[in-house]
Structure 1
Amino acid sequence: MYVDGSSNAGDSGAGLVITGPDNFITEYALRLDFKASNNEAEYEALIAGIALATELQVSRIRVHSDSQLVVSQVNGFSEAKEEQMIKYLKKVRKEISAFEEFQIVQVP
């Protein structure tokens, strides 16, 4: 799965692509209905992707994200300090526990 979030002065959004065996590809984009930071948008993309993967009954997943912060926090290399980031991280950790295997890596 590939996830990305984006935020600017006007809008925030997130997108993801899930690939799988037999050339399976699904894409999903969402517009956030609240003002979000780039990091919040990145977490929203990850959470939406996890929800979609769960709905598709995926048991093993590797997530690619360009967010050093999100990847580092989810992998436990850095801690979330801001209240909102703590909430996002807790939600992600709870949801990924349902997967047989979960990896998240940073891509440039």
Structure 2
Amino acid sequence: MIDIYIDGASAGDPGPSGAGIFINYKNGKVENHSIPLGQMSNHEAEYEALITALDLCIERGIKMVSFRTDSKLIDDAIEKRYVKNKRFQPYLEKAIARIDQFELFFMKWVPSNQNKNADSLARQAIRKN
């Protein structure tokens, strides 16, 4: 099982934003992705990080994944397949459509101090905007 750590960050609300994705293949190989996202809110950046990471896994033919996020919003939305704020409904629908393509998918909330790689990559992406 591959571990994927994701984070979205925004310098303002909205503001310049970025996605950080850290993929650990657990065989010594890792991937770092720092993706500028333009102007958006922090929550939108979190969703964009998730969707982009799912796309990366699908492109690579990865079928079993364990995602980690420090965003309770993302973790709750994926677990319940529901969002209170309808502004995020299109993001959730995109994510679910991708998640359903995996043989095995886990999402786990982790404290920020366990998500430092993805956080650092997201902050680097903000500076690339």
Verify same fold: TM over 0.5: yes
Q: Which of 6, 9, 23 lines up with 1:18 in the alignment? A: 23
Partners of 2:63 and 2:26 in 1: how far apart? 13
Larger RCO, structure (CA 8 Å, separation 6 or more): 2
Shift of 1:11: 1.1
Please identify runs of 4+ aligned residues in structure 1 that moved more than 2 A. Answer: 81-84
* Runs of 5+ consecutive residues of structure 1 not aligned to the other structure: none
Superposed CA RMSD = 1.3
Shift of 1:24: 1.6
Structure-to-structure mapping, 1:54-93, within 5 angstroms: 54-76=58-80, 79-93=82-96
1:40 is aligned to 44
Number of positions where the alignment pairs a residue of Structure 1 with one of Structure 2? 106
Identity of aligned residues (%): 34
Q: String of CA shifts for 1:1-51, please: whole Å, max 9, x gaps.
A: 000000122411111011114212011111112x21111100111111111
Partners of 1:18 and 1:56 in 2: how far apart? 12
* Runs of 5+ consecutive residues of structure 2 not aligned to the other structure: 112-129
C-alpha contact (below 8 Å) 2:82/2:92 kept by paired residues: no
Counterpart amino acid of 2:20?
G
**What's the TM-score once normalised by structure 1's chain length?**
0.92
**What's the TM-score once normalised by structure 2's chain length?**
0.77
Q: String of CA shifts for 1:51-76, please: whole Å, max 9, x gaps.
A: 11111111100000000011001011
Partners of 1:31 and 1:7 in 2: how far apart? 10
